[in-house]
Amino acid sequence: MEPSRVGLDPKACEQARLTRDARFDGLFFTAVRTTGIYCRPVCPAPTAHARNVEYFPNAAAAASAGYRPCLRCRPEAAPGTPLTRARSELVAAALRMIEAGAPEAASVARLAHRIGVGERHLRRLFVAELGAGPLEIAATRRLLFAKKLLTETALPVTQVAHAAGYASLRRFNAAFLDGYGRAPRVIRREQSAPANNTLTLRVPFRAPYDFSALLAFFERRAIPGLEQVDANSYTRRFAFDGKAGSLRVTRMRGTDALGLTIDFPDTAQLQAICARVRRLLDVDADIAAITAQLARDPRLRGFVRRHPGQRLPGGWDGFEIAVRAVLGQQVSVAAARTLATRLLERFGEPATLPNGEAFRLFPSPSTLADADLTRIGLTGARAKTLNAIARALCDGGVDFRPEQSLDNFVASWCELPGIGAWTAHYIAMRALGHPDAFPAADLVLRKMLADGGTALSARAVEALAERWRPWRAYAVMHLWRNSN
């Protein structure tokens, strides 16, 4: 299959290119044969003749065809290509692993083994659906992230290479020269290295993007001492790979991007941290496709029109989301927040930020596996459920592996005591960012979809929601938001 035609409508791409339609930014890339350069569809450069242009579904496909990224429109500054653009679940699963920075993503054989398919089959699927193999996708992602750090930060080139995942400065220089036709030191801006570990990166999104709604959602649930939310920003303290740090996200005025400020002592984890933040804030959602699908249903049409930028609020840590989901069973959001705060105060693990500030991390599974959780006011049954979750995560009975299917995730979690379909789907929504997770037994959903009558059964709600696939989680957010 011709890679420039993989999953793309040439006529639609041509129209978007000619009008520089921002809705398509990151959904495809334009390559010009006469220059050997690939660009975003919003590139301000003079428009090339159609006979010299071909289209690619992602940056890696363009790079694999021999094109170099444009230095003017900066492909690394585009919103991410939605993982849901993959046609098969196998490719989508592998892409989630690559985006999460799984070590297996460095080898097609290991990636295929973890997903449960043959190496050749996985490579063939990637080329057929995306126009590039798994290693090409990962390599382009690494190169573009390095370019982002060179352009947006003052990190020394050696730290940029380390942060982008290159084994050595020599390999980084060679890859960059091959990809851009010039050395990293020629590209980077002239400025001194920062005096501390703090740096700020742009996190582009595809408009519309309702950041205020996300902040309101997080604010109601924020745990004092761990999170802080105001009208303009979200701040989070965290641990990653055994080290403590903090991040702050704000809306950048005049641009379709958020500003992410990170204070963390190990630059090697920057790409993984950024990936978590992107999932936390759902910046890569295919919002046009979501809106079009949900607006077909008269029940949701008005909600979607009022809030076209609704996103799916994620979570920093899967275990934390799971615990908070259990704490929130059959109680108010405020009550669940109070319990989470008590849990942090009594069982939170001491940590220190790079600036020397002390705080408590959310407890780990090993800490809560055998803890007496009735001491924070939980019932015995609820405490046993949290103990069981913690032990299952320690033993590998359940996990948050990005490649697993929604059905398998829900089935494994429902085997735990005290975990039903509602809780499992809620965890999948927040911890995995799964766009089709759907807690059908939710009382609010059952009442809202009953049109003023008796609350529907979970089975009836599931039947109604079939038309919302594969975006049922976004329908949930619209219904919850408009239930007041």
Annotated catalytic residues are 39, 442
Tell me the residue type at 470: P
Q: Which two tokens stand for residue 357?
A: 């500030």
Closest to 81 measured CA to CA, from 372, 273, 289, 246:
289
Does residue 359 sit in helix, strand or coil?
strand
Q: Say whether 34 sits in a helix, a strand or coil.
A: coil
Q: How far apart (Å, rounded) are the C-alpha atoms in residues 114 and 105?
A: 10
Instruction: Give φ, ψ of 456 to 5 degrees.
Output: -70, 160
Report the Cα–Cα distance between both ends of the chain, in Å, rounded. 50
Residue whose C-alpha is closest to residue 65's, from 90, 24, 29: 29
Closest among 389, 361, 359, 383 to 371, alpha carbons compared:
383
Is the separation of the CB atoms in 371 and 400 below 8 Å?
Answer: no
The number of CA neighbours under 13 Å toward the Cβ of 112 is 16
Query: How long a stretch of residues is the chain?
Result: 484
d(CA 392, CA 366): 10
| Partners of 203 in beta bridges | 258
Q: Distance between CA atoms of 282 and 217, rounded to whole angstroms?
A: 13
Q: How far is CA 160 from the centre of its chain?
A: 22
**Distances 298 to 301, 449, 451, 467 between C-alpha atoms, Å:** 5, 11, 12, 11
Q: How far apart are CA 35 and CA 142, in angstroms?
A: 23
Q: Any residues with CB less than 8 A from the CB of 144 and at least 6 apart, and which?
A: 59, 69, 75, 76
